[in-house]
Amino acid sequence: MTSRPGCGPGRRGPYPAPMYADFFGLKHEPFSIAPDPRYLFLSERHREALAHLLYGLKGGGGFVVLTGEVGTGKTTVCRCCLEQVPRRCNVAYVFNPKLTVLELLGVITEEFGIPVQPAASGAPTVKDFLDPLNAYLLRTHAVGQNNVLIIDEAQNLSADVLEQLRLLTNLETDSRKLLQIVLIGQPELRELLARPELEPLSQRVIARYHLGPLTEEETAHYIRHRLAVSGLSGVMPFDRDARRRVHQLARGIPRRINLICDRTLLGAYGQGRRRVDRAMVERAAREVLGDEGMPPSGFERLSRFAGTLDGGHADEGDARARAGSRARPRFGWWVAGAAVLGGAALAAFNGLTP
């Protein structure tokens, strides 16, 4: 397990400090949801994702695809990648791909700094953009430069735009393609590329990677890492049980971890407490995630299971009795469900015992 505070020399000013910073001995905001590469925690999966993107910067054409759930750190990894761009690599970065074909071509040429002269009629055409783009790619290739197009939130691309991107990879010499395209998006991007009509594009994907959530151990390292980058020199505010609960409630998603930890520290500051426990984490998580974002407790899950048993074994003659008891807790069914589970476990154990 390795981590580092950033991916290159700092280019920005000091971080703003939250109101609880002095109280916990911090110099900067530890749990901002902004994709700042200096806070990037390189778990094993994040290192592999970064390696795929760096490969895309040096590759010989085609598509590189990086996917992941919302908040797993895709954009942060991308920003880190951009800070390691090779000297002879030109990058066009598109962060809002909800565009038409003409709009996307306009953004690409603008990002590469390519002047475009519309047709005499004044209404631009695809050819108006493709001709200068092709000339630019050939010219830069002749002097040993690579060109990379990175599209974030690529799950929002329409099918016709994706087809145009595939056609852009047809721009090539006898030895290599002139444009490398990196698509970064949510899991829906994988489903999009799996469509039969996009099979020609899918066959041009030379590298794919799906960025998953952090493990419980990685979550603990992640929390420590961000606090250390923010200047923590004293006692760790989150005890072991609190860190475990953060992981459970955040489901290992870094953005959710940030939201929960930030609100927890704010609550602890308000109470004058320098140590955070499980109950404080749960209160903070409920505030930032709401009830719908909270996973059910063990008791709630077992109660739901008992309710399933209740509904599954009842007949029409039980309907009125069940309706009359809706206001009462189903402890009888909870105990019955527990007994069934316990009996099944005991039977399985006896069957395995020699």
Which pLDDT score, from 0 to 100, does residue 5 have? 38
- Residue 61: its pLDDT value, please? 77
What's the pLDDT score for residue 39? 83
Instruction: Give the pLDDT confidence score for residue 76 in this predicted structure.
Output: 84
Average pLDDT in the 70-92 region? 88
| Whole-number pLDDT of residue 262 | 95
For residues 331-339, average pLDDT: 36
Res 57 pLDDT > 60: yes
Q: Which fold has domain 21-41+214-293?
A: Helicase, Ruva Protein; domain 3 (1.10.8)
Over residues 281-291, mean pLDDT: 91
User: How would DSSP label each residue in 4-47?
Assistant: -S-SSS--S-PPPPPTTHHHHT-SS-TT--S--GGG----HHHH
pLDDT category at 296 given cuts 50, 70, 90 is: low
pLDDT band at 41 (very low <50, low <70, confident <90, very high): confident
- For the ranges 89-103, 181-195, 264-278, 305-319, the lowest mean pLDDT is seen at 305-319
For residues 222 and 46, what is the distance between their CA atoms, to the nearest angstrom? 12
pLDDT given at position 188: 96
- Average pLDDT on 140-147 reads 91
Predicted local confidence at residue 35, as pLDDT? 74
Would you state the pLDDT for residue 86?
82
The predicted model scores a pTM of 0.74
Contacts of 323 (CB under 8 A, 6+ apart): none
| CATH architecture for residues 44-211 | 3-Layer(aba) Sandwich (3.40)
Q: What pLDDT is stored for residue 302 in this prediction?
A: 46
What does the pLDDT average to over 159-178? 88
pLDDT over threshold 60, residue 193:
yes
Q: Binning pLDDT at 50, 70 and 90, where does residue 242 land?
A: very high
pLDDT higher than threshold 60 for residue 325: no
Give the start-to-end residue ranges of the domains of the chain. 21-41+214-293, 44-211, 298-352
For residues 133-140, average pLDDT:
94
pLDDT, the chain, mean: 80
Mean pLDDT of 311-338: 40
d(CA 257, CA 220): 10
pLDDT score at 351 = 45
Residue 16 confidence (pLDDT): 56
Confidence of residue 17 (pLDDT cuts 50, 70, 90): low
If DSSP codes are grouped into helix, strand and coil, which group holds residue 294?
Answer: coil
Q: Spell out the SS3 assignment of 209-261.
A: EEECCCCHHHHHHHHHHHHHHCCCCCCCCECHHHHHHHHHHHCCCHHHHHHHH
pLDDT of residue 93: 93
3-state secondary structure 87-112: CCEEEEEECCCCCCHHHHHHHHHHHC
State yes or no: pLDDT of 120 exceeds 80. no
Please check the confidence at residue 119 and state whether its pLDDT lies above 80: no
- What's the pLDDT score for residue 295? 60
pLDDT tens sequence across 205-231: 988 999 999 999 999 999 999 999 999
